[in-house]
Amino acid sequence: MPRAPIPTWCFALVVVRKGDQFLIVQENKPGQPWYLPAGRVEEGESFAAAAVRETFEEGGIPIRLTGVVRVEHTPLPTGARMRVVYLAEPADDTPPKSRPDDESLGARWVTLDELRGYHMRGDEVAELFAYVAGGGTVHPPDLIKGEGEPYRINR
């Protein structure tokens, strides 16, 4: 007998780094906390494409993905949640979004010290930024592949 599919929600999170600064975005309701660019992967979209799209929508800047910090899988009683945490750099000198819209109230560059002055969604952001700033392991962005892609040795 075939098994029922397991509902799985997929999210891309992006640590965008420019020198000693990191991009944070304020969620789209007044009084809401700050976070890093993140969002659900849309139907037919790759994790990488979602990371680029969410960063542009929420932060207003184009990015280049430079690595994968971590892949997370959380089994839940009602399904599962997957998150891919990417590392990225700005693709150009576009300033962060400063006008509120449906995606966010705005974005800004902050240092680790400045981050303490912001109401964050949780401790995860500071921990993640410190991990990256401290030289934590980052895997190549092509670690995540589509099913059926050929295996190749990169030298």
Is 2 a domain residue?
no
Q: Are 91 and 62 in contact (CB under 8 A)?
A: yes
Residue 37: band (very low, low, confident or very high) from pLDDT cuts 50, 70, 90: very high
Q: Residue 73 — φ and ψ, nearest 5°?
A: -130, 125
Query: Where in the sequence is the domain holding 114, given as residue range(s)?
Result: 8-143
Could you give the CA distance from residue 122 to residue 34 in angstroms, rounded to a whole number?
9
Is 83 a domain residue?
yes
Is 154 a domain residue?
no
Domain harbouring 21, CATH code: 3.90.79.10
Q: Are 51 and 65 in contact (CB under 8 A)?
A: yes
- For residues 104-116, give the mean pLDDT: 96
Is 148 a domain residue?
no
Is 155 a domain residue?
no
Q: Are 71 and 10 in contact (CB under 8 A)?
A: no
DSSP at 28: S
- Asked if the model's pLDDT at residue 155 lies above 80, the reply is no
Residue of 77, 65, 91, 75 whose CA lies nearest to 143: 65
Reduced to 3 DSSP states, what percent helix, strand and coil does the chain have, rounded to the nearest 5?
20, 35, 45
Average pLDDT, the chain: 94
Say what the pLDDT of residue 5 is: 85
Is 126 a domain residue?
yes
Total tally of structural domains belonging to the chain: 1
Which alpha helices (H) appear in the chain, and where do they start and end?
47-59, 112-115, 124-133
